[in-house]
Structure formats: structure tokens, C-alpha cells
Chain A
């Protein structure tokens, strides 16, 4: 399989991307929006595997790192939620350009989900949306990753730095952010079956064509703290690839 690592975007704020072309060509595409921080590291292998599965199912797949994360430019404290939303848009345009697509799907994992929702609501070129174990309660999420209520300017969050402005942006994420005119949506849950019941109701209330798939399996963002590896959530990956390729 051909490997296509590359940088894209503005030269001073370049983003790292990996492109997996659809096997045998295809008319669909998907941009994967990573989780943040330690969750990004732990989910990396699963997200990579998802991209391969999508390509095998004739879906052009692109993964990328947000500004200030992974291989992208910027230090750990340089990014912002607003910037990362813009990065999703930049990645959409890049994939459309590379693969010659009119529209693409978005797959948001954990914090990537609200970013994908915000982007999908603003654009006309997003045709599908997957929300994989989405973060929809920003306050709970910040508490989870920082472990305390410290209000210092910058706090440590499981090996990464979180500035006060970014914490504020994250805390501002609520279920209401998902009440948008969105394209056809799949919620994928690897946790308890009813975890995303409220989210599904919110989307239904906004007249979104939404389905929830419960795919029990490892929570890719939670396991093996010392080794940044988690088990592969095979059922979730296969369900996402199947749904995206339909």
C-alpha cells in the first residue's frame, strides 16, 4: 500500500496529514478528526486502522493532526478549539482537492466530534457525520483530563498542557452545540448502550437523520496509560467503515 504522508495548509502553520486513497477509486471521502492530547496518542493505531478499512471500502480517507498537536506545527499550548475547527475545514478542502470530491464525510473521535459538528453545520460540503464516543459535556471532559479544578493559567492534562483559554473553550461545549442542521449522522458508542441517548434525542429534535450503533469494545482513549496503546475496537471500526461506504 502506498504511504502518503504530507504537510498542508499555511506554510507557517502547516498541518500533518496522511492520505489513504480509495482502493480502485471511489466517489466518497472521509476526514478523521482525532481526539486531543493523551487520547490522541492512545487512539492513533485504531484511527490508522480505520483509515485503511475505509480505503479498502473505496472511501478516500484522510487523517490529520491539529495545529499544536502530533506532527503538525506549533507547540503544545499554541492551539485553540477555534483553531482546530478551522483546521478541520482546511483538511476537508485538502481531501476534496486531492481526491477530486465535491463533498466528504467527517468522523469525529471524542473531542474531534464537537469540532466535526461545528464544521459540518457551517459548510455545505459535508455529506455524512460519524460521532465516535463523542465529548458533548465540555466541563465533565476538562475535569476528566485534568483531574482537579485548578484554575492556574496552564495546567497539566495527562502529559499535555492545557491553557486557561482552551479550557474555557472546551468547557463551553454542551449538548446544545449538537442541535444543528447536520447531515446524516451515525453515533458510535463503545461504552454503555444508553450513554448517548440524550445526544441522539438532541439530534432528532433538530430533525437530523441519526442512528446510534452500540459497538462494545475497548475505549481507545482510556487504556494502557504507560504505553499509549489500547486494544483495537474492531466492531466500531467495521461499523464506521461500512456505514461510510454505503
Chain B
């Protein structure tokens, strides 16, 4: 791999049917003869295309130096992109925006296959898109939606039982868990659950399981990273295996857990860790040339 020695070039573009979206293409110059898939970075929440703490810029430049063309762009209505003028539900609008990004890299970089990379909502949106587009041959999902397991609950509540402040709040009736329990006793609804039902943050457990199965069957390589910033949802290394025991056993899936990191990789050491992981993982699973991933080496994080 030629990490760190290849020249790269960044180009700003307005793209999409109405040139209503903004993105940055970061590509090796000249393109390597064995160019691999194009990497598409999806917005995390409403943070524009530079990513949380500028992490997407770091990732894009590192992957371009490794020989991959990379596109980071703003979904319609986020960052510098215009809001859509049509009336579509959010999932469909996001799907069309991502498809437009792929189309841009097809026409401008001659890309034939794609790696989708996303943090938080970007991971959830990327996962859903990958299921429906067979040109996607690999995904990097950072802090996608997680589902609480018995192991999670024991650790989550166990850690809190050891904190005197928690007990003090219980006595004063200010503990969130106790308040929720009392609300349920009074026959009132679970507000958190209501919020989750009204504003789902990502795929449900069944949708995710089926999606993982679809991607495994399609031989899509998957790197799934969880951080300690999602502790209320994910708090131990083996949780992914406990969430999806059958799918997690696949050699296509690598799971990493960076417990010390927050959700946005604020610390420099965690940024560097993610950039190194992304470049080394790409090198290990993607064979250049036709852009189709071939498993070279797989290590399991759990």
C-alpha cells in the first residue's frame, strides 16, 4: 500500500439532477491503474460534510492517499446543500441523494463499486442503502443503532449501583429509572419508548438482522465500530455478537469497540485510531482492479 506517498487532489462540486447538493471529491492523482472502489461518506446527523471534529476530512485524505477516490457530501437540506423541492419520505429522499452521489463518482471517477462509510445516522442511512444497491461491496458503520441485551443492562445498571450519587437520587425521587418505574405504576406511558416509536433513530432489530443477512449473502464486507459514547445503548465488546449471534459469526463482519472514545472522536488519539483502522481494514478486504472486495484477512473484534 502506498499510504502517505501518493498525491491527492480535492475538488468541490455541485451535483445531483439540479446541482443542488455540494460535495468534495478527494482522489489520488493520477488515479492508480488498479483503482479500487469509491468511498462515500455520509453526514452524521446535521454536521456538514467535514464530519464531527473534521474527522471525515482526515478519513477522506487518508483513503485517497491509499488509492481510493472518496466523496463526502451534504444530504439535501444539510450543510451547503439545498433542501429537496419534491415531497418524499425521509428514507426515500436519503436513498435518492446517496444514489446521486454514487452516480457522480461513476461519471467523474469511473467508479464501478462502492464502500459506504457513515457515523451515527450516517451509519444507519448507509446500512439501509447498502441493502438495496448491489454496487455496494463494503460498509463501514460507526455507532449504528444498537439494541440492549441482558449483558448491556447488567453492566449499565451494575455500574450505577456502585455510585453513591445514584442512590442519593433514588432517595430523593430524582433517579430517572425510578421515575420511569413510578410512571408506569401509575399507568402512564414510557416516554422514551414513545419518542423512539415516533422518531425511530435507525433500523429496528429485525430490519437490521435481515439486512445483515442480505449483505452477508451478497459477500459485502462490514466493519462495525462502536464507541463508549453510545454507552446507554452499547457497552461491551461482545454485545454485537449477543445482538445478532448468527450474523456476527460471519467472516464478513469485523466488530471493534473503542470504549474510551466519545461518539464524535473528539480526542486526537481516537481520530488517529479510526483513520488507521479504516485504511488498514480497506487494504485487508478490498482487492483493487475490479473494485470487488475479496477477503484477505479477517480479524474479529469480539
Contacts and interface: CB of A to CB of B under 8 A. Distances in A.
Contacts of B53: 38, 41, 159-160
Interface stretch (A66-74, A89-97, A133-141, A194-202): A66-74
B24 A71 contact: yes
B19 A69 contact: no
B54 interface: yes
Contacts of A48: 79-80
B104 interface: no
Nearest to B52: A228
A1 B82 CA distance: 8
Main secondary structure of the interface of B (DSSP, over half): loop
Contacts of B82: 1, 3
B227 to A, nearest CB: 12
B128 interface: no
Interface stretch (A4-12, A98-106, A115-123, A215-223): A4-12
Interface string A142-163: 0000000000000010111100
A222 to B, nearest CB: 16
A228 B47 contact: yes
A204 to B, nearest CB: 38
B11 interface: yes
A161 B264 CA distance: 14
Main secondary structure of the interface of A (DSSP, over half): loop
B284 to A, nearest CB: 25
A185 interface: no
A71 B50 contact: yes
A76 interface: yes
A38 B79 CA distance: 15
Contacts of B266: 156, 158-159
Given A70-B50, A227-B46, A159 B12 contact: no
Contacts of A4: 14
Interface centre among A4, A5, A16, A18, by most chain B C-beta atoms within 10 angstroms, is: A5
Interface string B81-99: 1100000000000000000
Contact of A159 (B10, B52, B57, B80): B52
Interface centre among B21, B49, B54, by most chain A C-beta atoms within 10 angstroms, is: B54
A51 B80 CA distance: 11
B45 A7 contact: no
B199 to A, nearest CB: 14
Contacts of A171: none
A4 B14 CA distance: 7
B161 interface: no
A14 B10 contact: yes
Interface string B124-144: 000000000000000000000
A5 B12 contact: yes
A15 to B, nearest CB: 11
A44 B263 contact: no
Given A70-B57, A71-B12, A71-B50, 12 more contacts: A3-B19, A5-B14, A16-B12, A45-B79, A76-B54, A156-B267, A156-B268, A159-B265, A226-B264, A227-B45, A228-B52, A228-B264
5 contacts: A41-B47, A71-B12, A160-B54, A161-B268, A228-B45
